[in-house]
Amino acid sequence: MGLYEEMTPGIFRICQEVRKGWIPFTMNLYALPGTAGLLFDAGSGARGAVTYAARALDALEKERGTRVRRILPSHAHWDHFSGTSALAKRRRMEVLLTEAMVPLVRTRACYRAAYQERKSALHPPRSRGREAMRNLKDRLIDEAFSLSMGLQAVTGPFSLLCVGDHVESEAGTWEVLAGPGHCDAHIMLWNASSGILLGGDNVLANITTWLGPPRSNITAYQTTLETIRDLPGLTLILPAHGRPITDPIKRTTQLIAHRKKRLAQIKEKVAAAGPQGLSGRALVQHYYPHMAPLKRSIAQGWIEATLLHLLEEGELSRTLEKGLWCYHRR
């Protein structure tokens, strides 16, 4: 495979790999050439990742005689926006952001603050001293993660783009759709003529989308999945990770059923624990008994998000037991 791959006429995928750092990953960046052209998602801000994406865009413009001069992240997670400013500066590209993204990505400090877990599903508020130690530990982990994975803020000038706006390219007209759930500041691009959706992280072919506090929302994600499933003439979803989804109705239906199943499982396990209830930590241990701590802290996000959702819906209550939140069916 070369620097880029034409997925369908006028839509080009740049597969960006980051092999160093804590969690090696692959990102799909989608170039939509045109009079100005657009890159949907910018990937990691690590030097090698940015260089690869820039080389791919340069080659695409040279070989196809077309232009890609704007950048739009799909949402405010580090692996989608971190390469934005470096690419914009290197290639003189215009940065587009939605209003919801702006307060989350403009500095590393605001990004860190935006994703600090304020309502833990596992641990109640601790003493001031223990909270200070926890915050220091989280800060050190965050710094190490940021340096190794290429987390970079979106600095410099930008233009606002709104849900409902349209983007023109050689592949046709793309409408900006809201897609919250995985992240509250998540958008997608929809081409009604071709039935193609650039879905960001909302629908992935081989794995389920990560969910977790504080910026994921179970109800919003279910609604987004239903919105995607019901798009008229939907034929193809091009995701930010992994392979294309060529049977999008089947896949979105599977994911909707999976989320409903997970909700039911959590409620059943808490009910089975009886009057004494069940701690959030016990649920995490049940689902991930042998997983390494770092990976488990990421994987358990859906459990935490589900518990908080059920609390808000009034289906569960919780009490403080031996320094942990213990859940009960109402």
Which long-range contacts (C-beta less than 8 Å, at least 24 apart) are formed by 56-61?
56/3, 56/4, 56/14, 56/31, 57/14, 57/31, 57/87, 57/91, 58/91, 59/2, 59/3, 59/4, 60/3, 60/4, 60/12, 60/31, 60/33, 61/33
Can you tell me the distance from the alpha carbon of 208 to that of 119, in angstroms, rounded to the nearest whole number?
23
Q: What is the pLDDT along the chain (330 residues), one digit of tens a residue?
A: 589 999 999 999 999 987 655 566 799 999 999 998 999 999 999 899 999 999 999 999 999 999 999 999 999 999 999 999 999 999 999 999 999 999 999 998 888 888 876 668 888 876 566 555 555 455 555 555 555 566 899 999 999 999 999 999 999 999 999 999 999 999 999 999 999 999 999 999 999 999 999 999 999 999 999 999 999 999 999 999 999 999 999 999 999 999 999 999 999 999 999 999 999 999 999 999 999 887 888 899 999 999 999 999 999 999 999 889 999 999
- Number of Cβ within 10 Å of residue 84's Cβ equals 29
Query: Are β-strands 278-279 and 196-200 bridged in parallel, bridged antiparallel, or unpaired?
Result: unpaired
Residue type, 89: K
Structure confidence at residue 139 (pLDDT): 55
Structure confidence at residue 294 (pLDDT): 76
250 in helix, strand or coil?
A: helix
11 in helix, strand or coil?
A: strand
**Of residues 284, 329, 287, the one with CA closest to residue 310:** 329
**Of residues 189, 183, 195, the one with CA closest to residue 169:** 189
| Beta carbons within 8 Å of 295's beta carbon, 6+ residues apart | none
Structure confidence at residue 115 (pLDDT): 80
Q: Which two tokens stand for residue 211?
A: 């969910």
Structure confidence at residue 105 (pLDDT): 96
Structure confidence at residue 111 (pLDDT): 87
Structure confidence at residue 142 (pLDDT): 58
Can you tell me the distance from the alpha carbon of 189 to that of 71, in angstroms, rounded to the nearest whole number?
13
**Of residues 227, 250, 193, 245, the one with CA closest to residue 7:** 245
Ordered alpha helix ranges (H), the chain: 47-64, 78-81, 84-91, 102-105, 108-114, 128-149, 218-229, 248-272, 280-287, 293-299, 301-312
Specify the DSSP class assigned to residue 5: E
Structure confidence at residue 23 (pLDDT): 63
- Dihedral-angle region of residue 23 (phi above 0 means left; psi in -120 to 50 means alpha; beta otherwise): beta
Exposure string over 309-328, b if 16+ CB within 10 A, otherwise e: bbbeeeebebeeeeebbbbb
Structure confidence at residue 130 (pLDDT): 58
Can you tell me the distance from the alpha carbon of 66 to that of 38, in angstroms, rounded to the nearest whole number?
11
Specify the DSSP class assigned to residue 274: G
The Cα-based distances of 226 to 100, 175, 211 in angstroms read 22, 18, 17
79 in helix, strand or coil?
A: helix
> Hey, what domains does the chain have and what are their CATH numbers?
5-108+151-255 (3.60.15.10)
For every residue of 103-144, DSSP letters joined together read HHHSSHHHHHHHTS-SS-SS-----HHHHHHHHHHHHHHHHH
